[in-house]
A and B are shown apart, each in its own frame.
Chain A
Amino acid sequence: MPEFCGDIRENYFQDEPIFKTRSIRFCVITLVVILGLLGTFLSEYSLYLLVIIGIAVIGAIGLNFITGFTGMISLGHGAFIGVGAYSAAILTDRLGLPFIISLPLSGLITCCIGMIFGLPSLRVKGLYLLIATMAAQLIINFLMLNWRSLTMGAYGYAIPPASILGFVFDSDQKYYYLVLIFVLLSVLAGTNIRRSRYGRAFVSIRDHDIAADLVGVSLLKYKTIAFAIGTFYAGIAGALLAHHSGVVSPEHFPLSLSIEYLAMIIVGGLGSIMGSIYGAIFIVLLPEFLQLLLDEYMVELIPTAAAFFPQVNQILFGCIIILFLIFEPHGLAEIHRRVKNYFKLWPFPY
């Protein structure tokens, strides 16, 4: 039997797995185990940040399907996350549905509401689509604030903690594990969708929609599917956020949240699942990092400048994002890819 050297595949079945080699599978399992162990010794503050990052990852993957893969710029993602949150609150509190049913239902409800705004918007693209989705954000925010019989308006909607079969996720540590499971499922599902014909259709629409149409890719069908997937992810993220916060109010979902999610996928890398993860980590942790640097270390070095540090923090945040866009427009995922490729050949130059 001849033996081959390298990563050889002899049929399509062998080409299908996401983790193609034993070493990749080992690394992924090790990473999952490490993530699992982190929940046992990290502090409440760290676990809280990890939960927020996890929820942001799910939301960012959703937005990447809409914007990164399909090229449709959306400024309404924050509002769709809000729809998911309020859906979870209403399904759990008013209808008494258990968490395990209300969570996917929240995603589906967000998907349906996303379609109400998405379908008319799919006829336009670029800046016009941006304005249309921004209108969705403003309309949904208005309804959150004023449809008081449904949303409790500005007073906020209290929501009980998530529970599955009597097990209540009422601490940051328990919730971390719950969110971790959903993050892993979201990443797996997202990776598979990207590799499927749907993902290829999305990318073809992004790269050249007219050519895609000419070769038989139905623009309306696949744009609708991309929007549906993206808003479903947003609904799931919103539902998880609602159960974690314990209260939802319109203040949780301003326009700046949509901009933050766009920043996540741009800094992380458009059109990349790993980019969504890196971007979420970066955007959530950067303000905390700057706070640590300025308010805890620099304030002792330059106490007289302490009054300016909050403003400097905001300026630095914006500058770092701009620097990323200038020096690494393909995002953190591109840095990861290039380092990975370098070490594939290392120490050989080619």
Chain B
Amino acid sequence: MFDRLLIVKVAVVFLMVLTFTSIFFGLGDRAAASENDILIAQVGDLSAPATSWAGEPFAYGVRDYFTYLNSKGGVSGRKVRHLLSDGAYSIPRETAAFKKFSMQNIVVFIDWATGAALQIAPMCAEKKIVNFGGAPLEILSDPTKYPYRFIHSATYEQCWRAIIAYQLQKKQGEKQAAALTYPDSGFGRVNADAIRAYLTKINIPIVDEEIVDFKALDATPQMLKMKIRSNPTFVLNAQVQPSISVIMRDAEKVGINTEKIQFYAPLNALGMDLPKLGGSSVKNLILSSPFSDVSESDLAGIKEIVEFNAGKKWEPSVWYVHGWAAARVIAEGLHRVVQKGEKVTGENLKKALETLNDFENGGLTSPITFSSSNHIGAYGVKLFRPDFNKMKGLEKLSGWIFPK
């Protein structure tokens, strides 16, 4: 007998087959609203718990800058159309998004996950599409391997070098010994390798290494071990906001003097809620960032951000600044192409970006210089502390530090 429920199921499956077919035959593809529009595509992590806390503001920072730019006349009268897709931190989905967008006439593709970037960067080179990303890693910076990939800020590795330079300058003449904490993940291992390589090069011993996961709710055993078995003068933590709060809280709990033993953390640990999450234990934490903070309202780039978001409900975040800064660099490249009277293609944009020399970028990053042999645009790193006056956000500790 043919029951009604089966009819419903068959109808649902038929509808899905129809829609799947539309995916395959590109019926859902959206062409540019106008032939004159410049297409920029991006895939970000907007939903996966892994990195959406950073991926979402980064993606919206890029999107919002282009919206802001279009409201000011676009690129010499030409609108920039920003296409955004959610990759959910999945490499096949990010790659599928690239394949989908690359069928349209995009000039820039912005990716997110490092694993996806390793796959997409060579594809961008093949299709001559300029490639930016959310992860400023040195492994993706070689212009001979990834000729269309550009990094618009100091890399994670440079941030660590800046922190170590700051520590050595602050404690000049004193013998130094470092300890590390990092999660047992790709991110943790890459950062730990970079730190180890540099510390070995400048002859600073590493006296302890502790594994603390991003999702850890307790780091007491690791902090106890650090206190009892080693005597570091500073601790480098490749962590995120929640885990660094846990580490600082537990370090204080076991009696580690965080005024004497300086704790540092990178860009990924920057967050508006550090004072609330960590309480007084994060008072002595120093954070590094290749980007300026939204609290630096005197900077041209921050003024743009504040102007755009006036009256809107938005969550200030260094990742938003990261996205806005990337979009600014891309826009500058596009301006140069259009001003030269050339066609806006990935190839021409690449050449235009390689002419950027001490480009100010609204103060959001240190001045940017690209060349055909160097696609890491900036080297400056700033240091911040959690702002306990406002109990939210960050307080600037230093101007741009340029590590060697």
Q: A314's contact among B1, B13, B88, B122, by CB below 8 Å, is which?
A: B88
Interface string of A307-350 (1 = CB under 8 A from B): 00111011000000000000110001001001100100000011
Interface string of B8-22 (1 = CB under 8 A from A): 011001001001101
Is B91's CB within 8 Å of the partner chain A? yes
What B residues does A209 contact at CB under 8 A? none
A296 to B29, CA, bound (A): 8
What B residues does A309 contact at CB under 8 A? 86
What A residues does B9 contact at CB under 8 A? 327-328, 335
Is B26's CB within 8 Å of the partner chain A? yes
Interface positions of A from 140 to 162, Cβ below 8 Å from B: 142, 145-146, 153-156
Interface positions of B from 81 to 116, Cβ below 8 Å from A: 84-86, 88, 91-93, 95-96, 99-100, 102-103, 113-115
A46 to B86, CA, bound (A): 18
A49 to B56, CA, bound (A): 25
Report whether A338 and B6 are in contact in the complex, using a CB–CB cutoff of 8 Å: yes
A110 to B44, CA, bound (A): 33
Q: B115's contact among A145, A156, A293, A296, by CB below 8 Å, is which?
A: A156
User: Which stretch of A68-76, A96-104, A113-121, A283-291 is in the interface?
Assistant: A283-291
Is B228's CB within 8 Å of the partner chain A? no
Q: In whole Å, how far is A137's beta carbon from the nearest beta carbon of chain B?
A: 14
Report whether A311 and B47 are in contact in the complex, using a CB–CB cutoff of 8 Å: yes
Q: In whole Å, how far is B87's beta carbon from the nearest beta carbon of chain A?
A: 10
Q: A142's contact among B10, B86, B184, by CB below 8 Å, is which?
A: B184
Q: B24's contact among A46, A172, A252, A338, by CB below 8 Å, is which?
A: A46
Interface size class of B (residues with CB under 8 A): 35 or more
B13, B113, B184 — most chain A CB neighbours (10 Å): B13
By DSSP majority rule, is chain B's interface helix, strand, loop, or mixed?
Answer: helix
Is A269's CB within 8 Å of the partner chain B? no
Is A249's CB within 8 Å of the partner chain B? yes
A172 to B99, CA, bound (A): 10
A342 to B9, CA, bound (A): 14
Which A-chain residue is minimally distant from B145 (CB atoms)? Answer: A158
User: Which stretch of A37-45, A182-190, A213-221 is in the interface?
Assistant: A37-45
What B residues does A328 contact at CB under 8 A? 9
Which A-chain residue is minimally distant from B188 (CB atoms)? Answer: A154
A285 to B85, CA, bound (A): 15
What A residues does B26 contact at CB under 8 A? 43, 45-46
Is A229's CB within 8 Å of the partner chain B? no
Is A250's CB within 8 Å of the partner chain B? yes
Report whether A245 and B119 are in contact in the complex, using a CB–CB cutoff of 8 Å: yes
What B residues does A295 contact at CB under 8 A? 84-86
A349 to B3, CA, bound (A): 12
A311-B47, A314-B47, A335-B13 given as contacts; is B103 within 8 A of A296 (CB)? no
Q: In whole Å, how far is B26's beta carbon from the nearest beta carbon of chain A?
A: 6
Report whether B5 and A285 are in contact in the complex, using a CB–CB cutoff of 8 Å: no
Q: In whole Å, how far is B182's beta carbon from the nearest beta carbon of chain A?
A: 11
A169 to B19, CA, bound (A): 30
A285 to B113, CA, bound (A): 21
What A residues does B113 contact at CB under 8 A? 251
A46, A293, A309, A328 — most chain B CB neighbours (10 Å): A46
Report whether B10 and A339 are in contact in the complex, using a CB–CB cutoff of 8 Å: yes
Is B185's CB within 8 Å of the partner chain A? yes
Report whether A327 and B186 are in contact in the complex, using a CB–CB cutoff of 8 Å: no
Which A-chain residue is minimally distant from B45 (CB atoms)? Answer: A310
Report whether A46 and B25 are in contact in the complex, using a CB–CB cutoff of 8 Å: yes
A43-B103, A49-B24 given as contacts; is B85 within 8 A of A291 (CB)? yes
Q: In whole Å, how far is A142's beta carbon from the nearest beta carbon of chain B?
A: 7
What B residues does A350 contact at CB under 8 A? 1
Report whether B118 and A249 are in contact in the complex, using a CB–CB cutoff of 8 Å: yes
Interface size class of A (residues with CB under 8 A): 35 or more
A327 to B99, CA, bound (A): 35
Report whether B122 and A296 are in contact in the complex, using a CB–CB cutoff of 8 Å: no
What A residues does B20 contact at CB under 8 A? 281, 285, 289
A145-B184, A154-B189 given as contacts; is B118 within 8 A of A247 (CB)? yes
Report whether B103 and A45 are in contact in the complex, using a CB–CB cutoff of 8 Å: yes
Q: A293's contact among B10, B19, B93, by CB below 8 Å, is which?
A: B19
Interface string of A34-62 (1 = CB under 8 A from B): 00000000111110111010000000000
Is B190's CB within 8 Å of the partner chain A? yes
A297 to B23, CA, bound (A): 13
A77 to B391, CA, bound (A): 46
Report whether B28 and A292 are in contact in the complex, using a CB–CB cutoff of 8 Å: yes
What A residues does B32 contact at CB under 8 A? none
A309 to B88, CA, bound (A): 12
Report whether B86 and A335 are in contact in the complex, using a CB–CB cutoff of 8 Å: no
What A residues does B75 contact at CB under 8 A? none
Report whether B10 and A145 are in contact in the complex, using a CB–CB cutoff of 8 Å: no
Interface string of A222-257 (1 = CB under 8 A from B): 000000000000000000000001110111100000
A288, A293, A295, A339 — most chain B CB neighbours (10 Å): A288
Q: In whole Å, how far is A138's beta carbon from the nearest beta carbon of chain B?
A: 10
Report whether B186 and A48 are in contact in the complex, using a CB–CB cutoff of 8 Å: no
Q: In whole Å, how far is A322's beta carbon from the nearest beta carbon of chain B?
A: 14
Report whether B139 and A155 are in contact in the complex, using a CB–CB cutoff of 8 Å: yes
A155-B190, A313-B47 given as contacts; is B96 within 8 A of A288 (CB)? yes
Q: In whole Å, how far is B109's beta carbon from the nearest beta carbon of chain A?
A: 13
Q: In whole Å, how far is A34's beta carbon from the nearest beta carbon of chain B?
A: 12
Is B46's CB within 8 Å of the partner chain A? yes
A310-B88, A328-B9 given as contacts; is B28 within 8 A of A154 (CB)? no
Q: In whole Å, how far is A78's beta carbon from the nearest beta carbon of chain B?
A: 12
What B residues does A52 contact at CB under 8 A? 92, 96
Interface string of A170-193 (1 = CB under 8 A from B): 001000000000000000000000
What B residues does A282 contact at CB under 8 A? 16
Report whether B103 and A247 are in contact in the complex, using a CB–CB cutoff of 8 Å: no
Is B30's CB within 8 Å of the partner chain A? yes
Interface positions of B from 353 to 393, Cβ below 8 Å from A: none
Q: Residues of A at under 8 Å CB distance from B?
A: 42-46, 48-50, 52, 142, 145-146, 153-156, 172, 245-247, 249-252, 281-282, 284-285, 287-289, 291-293, 295-297, 309-311, 313-314, 327-328, 332, 335, 338-339, 342, 349-350
Other than the known A49-B96, A52-B92, what 8 A-B pairs have Cβ atoms closer than 8 Å?
A44-B103, A145-B185, A155-B139, A247-B119, A287-B88, A292-B22, A310-B86, A313-B86
Across the A-B interface, give the 9 residue pairs with the lowest CB-CB distance, nearest first: A251-B115, A154-B186, A310-B46, A310-B47, A45-B99, A310-B86, A46-B24, A45-B100, A292-B28
Pairs across A and B, CB under 8 Å, 6 listed = A42-B24, A45-B103, A153-B186, A289-B19, A332-B13, A349-B2
